[in-house]
Amino acid sequence: MLGTILFFIVLVIIIWAIARAGNKGIQAAPIVSSAAVAGVNRDYRLPGDPRHVIRINQQWPDGIGASLIKKVGPLRDGVPVKGVSKEGRHETLTALIRGSSRRIELVRDRGNDYDPNAIKVIAHWKDAAGSSHEGQIGWIPRDISKEIAHEHPDTPLGGKILLMYQPRRGKNPGIRIDIGRPSSRGRSKESPAKPGKRIESSRQNRPNQGACNPSPREVKQRKKA
């Protein structure tokens, strides 16, 4: 019995040591009750978030319609950036996570041999010494970039970081972003008619009714005349 208890104690200690080693280098963000409490461009976690998660309240980049997004929401939200583990991009993402003044840029890659709808995710940040860096951290998922190319083929795109996953033992870093677009200018508040279609009243759509045909009273008066 005593041997069994000692075995489980040793096992717990080993698991704790492995978990501690796996979390080495993780800088846990402070826990707050809500995103509003965290403030702008400050790292935070919500209650229940693991230690390796970092959330951030970023502002939309210049040119992106924050007022439009506030009304109707972003084009896509919580988008996971793909391809992080390839071509050393996990190191670039790790540097972004540990840096400051972070921001992302979305670049359409129309000349891509594999996917003409591809959208690159480029990161910009500063290191501890204050030096600026940039590099690609991945791609927008193919199905989402295809949808965006169909819905907004020529619209400039912008993005902001929603949350980041710090690298752990056996796990690559990760990142999720929101995608937005500029506000439309020069449009009326009402939706414009589609080209090739006329907006007509129901009376105009019934040419054999109304003023085109005399009423029975008018016919009777004409006969008397």
Distance, C-alpha 108 to centroid of its chain: 15
Residue pLDDT, tens place only, 77-88: 999 999 999 999
Q: Give the pLDDT band of residue 66 (cuts 50, 70, 90).
A: confident
Report the mean per-residue pLDDT for the chain: 80
Q: State the Cα–Cα distance between residues 225 and 219, nearest whole angstrom.
A: 10
Q: Give the mean model confidence (pLDDT) for residues 64-73.
A: 83
Residues 27 and 166: beta-carbon distance below 8 Å: yes
Q: What is the pLDDT of residue 70?
A: 82
Per-residue pLDDT tens digits for 10-49 = 665 655 444 444 455 678 999 999 988 998 999 999 999 9
Instruction: Examine the pLDDT at 182 and tell me if it is beyond 50.
Output: yes
Task: Inform me whether the pLDDT recorded for 122 exceeds 70.
Answer: yes
Give residue 193's pLDDT band: very low, low, confident or very high (50, 70, 90): very low
Q: What are the domain boundaries of the chain? A: 26-178
Give pLDDT, residue 208. 38
Maximum Cα–Cα distance across the chain: 122
**Closest Cα partner for 96 from 68, 121, 124, 76?**
124
Dist. CA 51–CA 47, nearest whole Å: 10
